[in-house]
Structure 1
Amino acid sequence: MKNFWHNLALSILKYRLYYLSAVIALAIFMTVMAAKTQVSSELPKILPQSDERFQLYESFKKRFGEDGSVMVIGVETNKMFQLAFFQQWQDLAKAIKTVKGIKDVVYAGNIPRVEKNDSLKRFITKSLIAQRATSQVEVDAVKAKLDKLPFYKGFIINETGNVHLMMITFDQSAINDKSRVEAVQKIKKIAGEFETSQNTELHLSGMPFIRTEMTAQITNELGIFLILAIVVTSLILLAFFRSFKIMLVALVVVLIGIVSALGIIVMFGFKISIISGLIPPLVVVIGVPNAIFIVNKYYEEYALHGNQELALKVTIEKIGQTLVLSNLTTAIGFGVFAFTGSIFLIEFGIVAAINVMLTYAVSLILIPVIFSFLAPPANKHTIRLESGKISKFLLGIDHWVNHRRSVIYLVIILIIGVSVYGTTKIKSIGYIVDDLTKDNPIYTDLKFIEKNFKGIMPFEVAIDTYEPGRVMNSPELLTKIKRMEKEFAKYPEFTKPVSLVTAAKFIYQGYRGGDPKYFVLPGINELAKLKEYNASLSGKQNFAKGFIDSTKRYTRVSFQIADCGTVRTNQIIRELQPKIDSIFNYNAETNEFYKKGDKKGYDAEITGNSVIYAWQNDYLQGNLVESTLQAIFLICIIMALLFRSWKMVFISTLPSLIPLLITAGLMGYFDIHLKYSTILIFSIAFGISSDGTIYFLTRYKDELLNKNRTVKQAVTATILNTGVSMFYTAIVLFTGFFIFTASTFKGTQSLGILISITLLMAMICNLILLPAFLMTLNKRESKKLFM
């Protein structure tokens, strides 16, 4: 292996023009590929395709379409049924209806009501008003008709009558396409013009709107973070090295890493998602430490003998070995996401892991090659390694390691105890919009809608009757759906249901002349009478067409639920599903419980957009915990292969595990919830923090064995030499991740704060605790561990 690195160093310097050309060709190719990147408009697919819950939801969408396809506009006003305002509300609906990708717009004026036609023996659905109102009398008539339709109370108009909704249904072909984004932007513009003309505030919400706006905000922020990461790390490099050359060289490396990340995304046929969009700024933060270690080693070697070529050769040979292992641990921290089974994380893990190693290769080749063309380092640059506040700081650490180890161990034990207690306070919960700040318009508008209409998150019950046509030929099905709806009504989080029962109630009310008291489910005899009027209706007249599939085997019951959090949602699911099973599969007369598939019963399963989100959150947490453990295990294997001692594995792993424990404790104390956006921290941070351990131990091994120093001398030399680079990289990593705290999303803020703290704690542990462990061992034990 030593010959490999020696030969590689000679090859890079001897054929530097060829290597430089290869890097330039790579950069050009990746830039061309990066130009083809596309942003994903689809919901992230987190559950694996083999998951039964995922399959249920996908089957549901194939039969009935996307359930999260309705956007709403709410307005609080007492002028709705004044002619001028009502006309403008109608005009707003008409303008939105013309937007490409919009299937339907429903508001107080065009909601359907059912009338019977005795001469034709059929039911007809009509809008409350067929055209734009021209007089107050027409508007008053609309209000009078609306008052006789109890279903719409709490659905299209709130209980107190001062808040109204406009419901905008997106075409199924547009809901997961970029045309959805364009449609939402046009609707926002139209709504803004309405607000200005009427001096009234509108509240926009619904899944299409939330998805579009959150994606847009995150995408914009990622671009800002990328620029900030480049600027901040460049300024830090300039402050550390006092050299524009070094800053520019490092900048070239990370720019190649950025375009490579985007190019790899395209090469794999992926699109940029919310999480993969983090990779470019991460490349900057993670790539710069490579440059720091290479430059510092180059300066250090040149200061020893003044031979530039030899300094570059030794740098490639020595740092190449160390960096390949440290970058490998970082790649593992990302790469373990590829084993989660979630497409959402698999893409992120693959691209990030490949890009980490590619950036390492570019750094190892490009930096020495560029410096080989430049003048040797000036004295002021090499002297900088031996003086200054950093050296005093490192000498202080060396003193504590040599003379205060018992204090170090005591403090660590106390920190571990406090952190363990903090981890007991961690809550595992996620909300669809909990990453938003309380003053974000998306959040405030959603809460406005929830306050007046309970919720807008789709919550569905998919019912399989097992036989084609059974939906329409089973009166008992309506009774069972009604019983189930009563169970749902006990939960304040749900809106009114929409189902076949709702359609039957509307038809019966129409049959009874529109009297509101007949908005009830009729008995079996009454249902028979309704059939004489072709109660099923057809085409656009079919009020229930969205709730029965083409074979009339499947039906659905649709609710909307508040964004009450994954814990509460899962609790509701656990409580309701057994009740649903009992309603649809239990025969009280025979005391018989039908098994799944028995055609005497039905298969009724909870699903829907909000349900899938709750399941996905739990799935991710479980899998990301496993991923963190996998990262720890794999990195321990690398340590074992590197040092061939399980005792050394313990010594090398503990300084990286303690920062994770501290981070978990802080999450508990500061009420930062455990969810997919925060649990990502652990495997990523462990992979990066292990870099410092490898830097330190490989240098210590060289000092102890190759230079035949005592343990004390080897530890001191390692602290003073490697400590400079470790300090620089820790500052770059801390600052680079800390820029994410500028985000308007709390999850991104938490990511930045927690990873920054974790990596800072990792540096402290690697510079203080790790050498303290090594000092505790005698020279014979230390040599034995490294042999």
Structure 2
Amino acid sequence: MGKLATFFEGFWPFVARIILRNRVWWIAGLVLLTAFFVSQWKHVKFSNEETSVLPTDHPEIIKYTQFTDVFGAEDNAILIAVEGRDLFTANSFNAWNRLSKQLEAAPEIVSVVSLENIEEIVRTGNQLEAQAFNPREALSDENAKSKLYHLFERLPFYENLIYDPNSRAIRTIAFMDPDVVNTKVRSEFILNEFKSLVENFERVSGADAKISGMPYIKTRNAETLKKEMILFVIGALLVTALIFFFFFRSYRATFISMVVVLIGVSWSFGIIGLLGFEITILTALIPPLIIVIGIPNCIFLINKYQQEVKKHGNQARSLIRVISKVGNATLMTNLTTASGFATFIILSSSLLREFGIVASINIIGIFILRSEEHSL
């Protein structure tokens, strides 16, 4: 321990002098490294899947996989529902059927179950035949009502599938192509074409359509994640900037520290892209995490620097002394924090493992950035 302490006593002043003497090269290196990480942003993608925290070999995941192997997975169904009375006019009834046809024509949809294409069994003489429930458009409001009442009262086979017997809600079920359910194509379809079709139906009919189903929920969750990640980053920057300014009353110090954490945030996205990871509900927390970890250490280092400057007024000597005095403490603090997040790496869950890798790398990265900032 004595030898290690002696080593670090000389190590930090040496590092400070190297940085001070070659500050132009260090700044150039930081710019190039930041530019490299920014170039990796093009590989950053938001996850299109609902990633489980449980590992693939967990007993519950194994049971679920066995179940879906036997019975299949219905995670590609989108449900649209309206109240039955909203379709009591010929205009809204026909608009509902047109919506089903438009969805069925979309290449992302493989099949649709709706009023427009269901069949009923009718007796013709001594034979039973399947006939289309809705062979033509409703010609009048009374015609639309009679079709719906016929569905409610004479076709119990479609109960809880096409209609709800209690609320009299009418449903359309659109099944997406399983090959695109967990891809970017799903999000583009839901947010653009599907949303436009439903809004057009609501505008024509005056009905309030309710939408559910895993493809729709996944897309909405992904969009919410994007918006909230930006909100968290902006919020973390504003709060920490205000706290920093209240401590030092210095626009310059606040601006420099904000630049440092913004570079750290850009590195975090670059590392995610470089490693080929996707932004999930956990990795989306890393940018604000870097901000709230980086700013307190900036406060600590700048406070020590100002104390040293007041003693003798020599900025270069103050920088060397600050790094010499607090280098070990800040290094161990950040190593401890990074090690805590790095424990996730040993877990079987890919979601937690990716979070641990990116978080631990970025915590060490923000430590290096802070050290260079106060030396430069």
Work out which of the residue numbers 297, 309, 321 in structure 1 matches 2:316: 309
Given that residues 100 and 183 in structure 1 are in contact (C-alpha distance below 8 angstroms), is that contact kept between their aligned partners in structure 2?
Answer: no
Cα drift, residue 134 of structure 1: 4.5
- Distance in structure 1 (CA, Å) of the matches to 2:167 and 2:235: 49
Aligned to 2:29: 22
Cα drift, residue 16 of structure 1: 2.3
Change (3 A) 1:335 1:151: farther
Work out which of the residue numbers 164, 172, 179 in structure 1 matches 2:178: 172
Between stretches 148-157 and 41-50, larger displacement belongs to 148-157
Aligned to 1:184: 190
- Distance in structure 2 (CA, Å) of the matches to 1:20 and 1:79: 66
Q: Secondary structure at the match of 1:166?
A: strand
- Distance in structure 1 (CA, Å) of the matches to 2:230 and 2:341: 21
Given that residues 279 and 352 in structure 1 are in contact (C-alpha distance below 8 angstroms), is that contact kept between their aligned partners in structure 2?
Answer: yes
1:95 paired with 2:97, answer no
Between stretches 36-45 and 354-363, larger displacement belongs to 36-45
- Distance in structure 2 (CA, Å) of the matches to 1:118 and 1:318: 100
Cα drift, residue 264 of structure 1: 0.8
Cα drift, residue 161 of structure 1: 5.4
Name the TM-score, length of structure 2 as normaliser: 0.88
Given that residues 294 and 315 in structure 1 are in contact (C-alpha distance below 8 angstroms), is that contact kept between their aligned partners in structure 2?
Answer: yes
Residues 593-632 of structure 1 correspond to what in structure 2 (within 5 A)?
none
Aligned to 1:211: 218
1:148 paired with 2:166, answer no
Q: Secondary structure at the match of 1:110?
A: coil
Cα drift, residue 197 of structure 1: 2.3
Give the residue type in structure 2 aligned to 1:360.
F
Given that residues 128 and 146 in structure 1 are in contact (C-alpha distance below 8 angstroms), is that contact kept between their aligned partners in structure 2?
Answer: no
- Distance in structure 1 (CA, Å) of the matches to 2:174 and 2:354: 33
- Distance in structure 1 (CA, Å) of the matches to 2:135 and 2:177: 23
Aligned to 2:302: 295
After superposition, the C-alpha distances for 1:148-178 in whole angstroms (9 at most, x for unaligned) are 3323223321123531112121110121111
Change (3 A) 1:100 1:288: farther
Aligned to 1:548: none
1:322 paired with 2:322, answer no
Residues 96-115 of structure 1 correspond to what in structure 2 (within 5 A)?
96-113=103-120
Work out which of the residue numbers 335, 341, 344 in structure 2 matches 1:334: 341
- Distance in structure 2 (CA, Å) of the matches to 1:204 and 1:7: 64
Change (3 A) 1:124 1:357: farther
Aligned to 1:72: 79
Q: Which has the higher Rg, Structure 1 or Structure 2? A: 1
Aligned to 2:57: 50
1:129 paired with 2:134, answer yes
- Distance in structure 2 (CA, Å) of the matches to 1:5 and 1:199: 71
Q: Secondary structure at the match of 1:35?
A: helix
- Distance in structure 1 (CA, Å) of the matches to 2:274 and 2:375: 29
Given that residues 219 and 274 in structure 1 are in contact (C-alpha distance below 8 angstroms), is that contact kept between their aligned partners in structure 2?
Answer: no
After superposition, the C-alpha distances for 1:497-541 in whole angstroms (9 at most, x for unaligned) are xxxxxxxxxxxxxxxxxxxxxxxxxxxxxxxxxxxxxxxxxxxxx
Give the residue type in structure 1 aligned to 2:133.
L
Change (3 A) 1:366 1:251: same
Aligned to 1:234: 241
Unaligned runs of 5+ in 2: 1-7
Given that residues 101 and 171 in structure 1 are in contact (C-alpha distance below 8 angstroms), is that contact kept between their aligned partners in structure 2?
Answer: yes
1:259 paired with 2:266, answer yes
Aligned to 1:621: none
Aligned to 2:284: 277
Equivalent residue pairs, number = 367
- Distance in structure 2 (CA, Å) of the matches to 1:234 and 1:266: 27
Name the TM-score, length of structure 1 as normaliser: 0.44
Aligned to 1:357: 364
Cα drift, residue 189 of structure 1: 2.5
- Distance in structure 2 (CA, Å) of the matches to 1:161 and 1:241: 63
Identity in percent? 32
Cα drift, residue 146 of structure 1: 5.7
Unaligned runs of 5+ in 1: 370-787
Aligned to 1:286: 293
Residues 760-775 of structure 1 correspond to what in structure 2 (within 5 A)?
none
Aligned to 1:37: 44
- Distance in structure 1 (CA, Å) of the matches to 2:315 and 2:169: 76
